[in-house]
Structure 1
């Protein structure tokens, strides 16, 4: 049974898509300046979002923010492939904006809001902010009569909110193109003590990250948010459909153990300091002893002291779920079901572990797009 929560947050006039970039913040301030109350929605996935900065932004810019995790929906869109395709890298900008707009529309009633704000600027981005794609986003997200883009409103047709007098069109802007001078001047007028970067920083638009994500999309039988979070941490290596992540420092080691699945294998050198390595065991494809020994030798090669010993070293191998049963900080205690494998540290092994390369991922993405076009 769905509960009516529209009265839980009385008094909001609009909800806004807030990336944390300058444009999205300015769009909110322009509407606040007209005496309207705005609830900012900061959408979070493994690829973008900084929920840890919510309180900081609220205090710095005088805005009201809720972090909204849309990871499951976003990953589903990637798995099914975006309707409007990828940008220069693995960024599905148009489909991403449609997804967020649709989610904002669903959340409006919760806050009693009457319209949606976006910081988009006509002509600023080649894929998602052309006139035609702005119209596609508005149509496919079903927000035609709800969406206001304050920064470029005077280049667009008047919205219902303007025609009804809820928003004064004369106080909206006519920014267009890729320049930043007008936004920077506006930030100075508002007295921002800290001027944020232009965008929210999407990892899907970065080649190194995209090459990692593409491997997950290609090899995981059921890609999920946890796997993309795992691919964000440490050094990433693949051998066919087998996947290893190796920590580069203590923070990576902690992060890997936090996001890996219970059935994943954890490799730790027994008698020398070294990183945590995680072997992702996809459902229905457990690693055999040969693969485990190969991965143990590879993991041990990232321990400089183990390599310098010139002798076989012991590597502890256990399920991540069993390791989590131990008391926090008791990392040297025996783990139920743990195996100890004696191996010679080796960066080159029979499995041929290799970091994913963008040039290879790009060709696979292009080939898939060609096949889709027929």
Structure 2
């Protein structure tokens, strides 16, 4: 094995996997960096070793998880290069990742970086001019290699200095996948995900919800956004009650359990005592609801929504007793079902 080490950005998709295999085929030690944030792949942090073993077994790639959550949450407030079609800051995202990868080079004694980017594949972040901007703003000029489209770009230092044989790189371009699929067959790669956006910020519904959260529509406050908030935004039915009070209801038992795990001190939970139904969570209710003039109205609406989405009895939705509890909160109330259409978000 060569003494040369390269760090690659690894999304788990075919392009990044191929880039790893192309570089490794030249006898270079490859360490794949899998970046995670609350917007993509954050749950991998709970099973890191299992994930590493799985990727090594399937693809022979040594992958390391890198959590970018804190910095990424701040980046999203005002990305220098703006947003894509939805709330996705694709250019700034790539700059942020490459900046972090460059900072990690000394830890792994790496000589250069590489990605699976293909010229012209994505309209926002993979144009020729944008690729140059990403290199410049991440301070990765001349140390960033894109092996799948390298022959359509100027040679980088790893190529000029003989660390990498440019003739064994590729000149892919455009949005088609035929070249990549053919190369995958050459490497014997048969199992890989279909091309799709794994980042929830590109989703028109979730992206819009997160954007409203950042705009301050939720009473929890745009200045104190936390990882748990972003994860909660992705679960169940979501409602904005008067005053921007944030209510989340589980749609099935698995979501009920997830909501309970995302409970934090200061939240209030809601649950019917009479029959099965959703678990509800009022985020930071102790700070935004308790003692306010709207507390009674908000609790009536929240409890009514819990009842509305609970199990029907002979096709009807009768009133039910709802328990509201949390740190410093414990009460029950009889609630009638209410229509949540005007509060859904």
TM over 0.5: yes
Q: What is the match of residue 235 of structure 1?
A: 237
Q: What is the rounded CA distance, in whole Å, between the counterparts of 1:46 and 1:12 in structure 2?
A: 33
- Residue 298 (structure 1) aligned with residue 305 (structure 2): yes
CA RMSD of aligned residues (A): 2.1
8 A Cα contact 1:300 1:307, kept in partner: no
Q: Which residue of 2 aligns with 1:55?
A: 53
Matched, 1:265 2:265: no
**Of 190, 198, 206, which residue of structure 1 is paired with 2:203?**
206
CA contact (8 A) 1:20 1:200 kept: no
The 1-side partners of 2:334 and 2:157 are apart by 71
Which contiguous aligned blocks of 4+ residues in structure 1 show a shift greater than 4 angstroms? 306-311
Shift of 1:199: 4.8
CA distance in 1, matches of 2:313, 2:22: 59
1:199–1:63 Cα change, 3 Å = farther
Q: Please list, as runs of the form range in 1=range in 2, the aligned pairs for 1:167-182 lying within 5 A after superposition.
A: 167-182=164-179
Spell out, residue by residue over 1:134-168, the C-alpha distance to the aligned partner (whole angstroms, 9 max, x if none): 00000001111321110011111111111111111
TM-score with structure 1 setting the length: 0.83
Q: Describe the superposition over 1:49-79 as per-residue Cα deviations: whole angstroms up to 9, x where unpaired.
A: 2625443222111000111111111110112
TM-score (norm 2): 0.89
Structure 1 contact 272–306 (Cα < 8 Å) conserved: no
* Bigger Cα displacement from structure 2, 269-278 vs 217-226: 217-226
Matched, 1:346 2:338: yes
Q: How many residues align?
A: 328
Unpaired runs of 5+ residues, structure 1, are: 1-9, 323-335, 357-374
Question: Aligned partners of 2:196, 2:334: CA distance in 1, in Å?
Answer: 49
SS at match of 1:185: helix
Q: Which piece of structure 1 moves more, 274-283 or 113-122? A: 274-283
Q: Is the 8 Å Cα contact of residues 14 and 115 (structure 1) preserved in structure 2? A: yes
Cα distance, 1:305 vs structure 2 = 3.0
| Structure 2 residues not aligned, in runs of 5+ | none
Distance 2:330 2:285 in 1: 19
